[in-house]
Amino acid sequence: MKPSARYLPNNHPVRYLLESAANGSPITATDLLILSNADLPPSESLTAFADEIEQAGLVIARVGATGAHQPALELAQEQWEQLAATMTDHQRAVDSTEKRPEPETDIDAVIARVFAN
């Protein structure tokens, strides 16, 4: 069964950012850098959503800063579901906020790592 077009995995960068804003802290430019960590072609980069995420994060953070954590989380979910509905399948499938390590292509480094273990 195909996941809903409004679903994002728990560790999806967009979901992570918006849910973090529910704790009362606005999303910063540094926070938005995790959008570029997704292993996607440039035409499908999650950075295309940065402005919407930042603006929504301001509203969500204001609500969260009042101590109304549950309403802030509900706003965050509503926003990431709306964004997810406009994403491609590949964009929705991202499940990590971490940058994937570059594959080792230097043969000497690979050999050294093998013999070190």
Q: Residue 23's CB: how many other CB atoms inside 10 A?
A: 14
Give pLDDT, residue 9. Answer: 93
Query: pLDDT of 7-53, one tens digit each?
Result: 999 999 999 999 999 999 999 999 999 999 988 999 999 999 999 99
CA 45 to CA 35: how far, in whole Å?
Answer: 8
Tally of CA atoms within 13 A in the half-sphere of 74 that contains its CB: 5
Residues whose CB is less than 8 angstroms from the CB of residue 41 and which lie 6 or more positions away in sequence, other chains included: none
Q: Cα–Cα distance between 56 and 41 in angstroms, integer?
A: 25
- Stated pTM of the model: 0.81
For residue 39, the model assigns a pLDDT of 87
How far is 113 from 111, CA to CA, in rounded Å? Answer: 5
| pLDDT for the residue 115 | 79
The whole-number pLDDT of residue 25 equals 92
Q: How far apart are CA 79 and CA 45, in angstroms?
A: 18
Residue 36: partners with Cβ closer than 8 Å, 6 or more residues away = 45, 46, 47
Tokens 């109304």 belong to which residue?
68
pLDDT one-digit tens code per residue, 48-76? 999 999 999 999 999 999 999 999 999 99
Least Cα distance to 50 among 75, 4, 83 occurs for 83
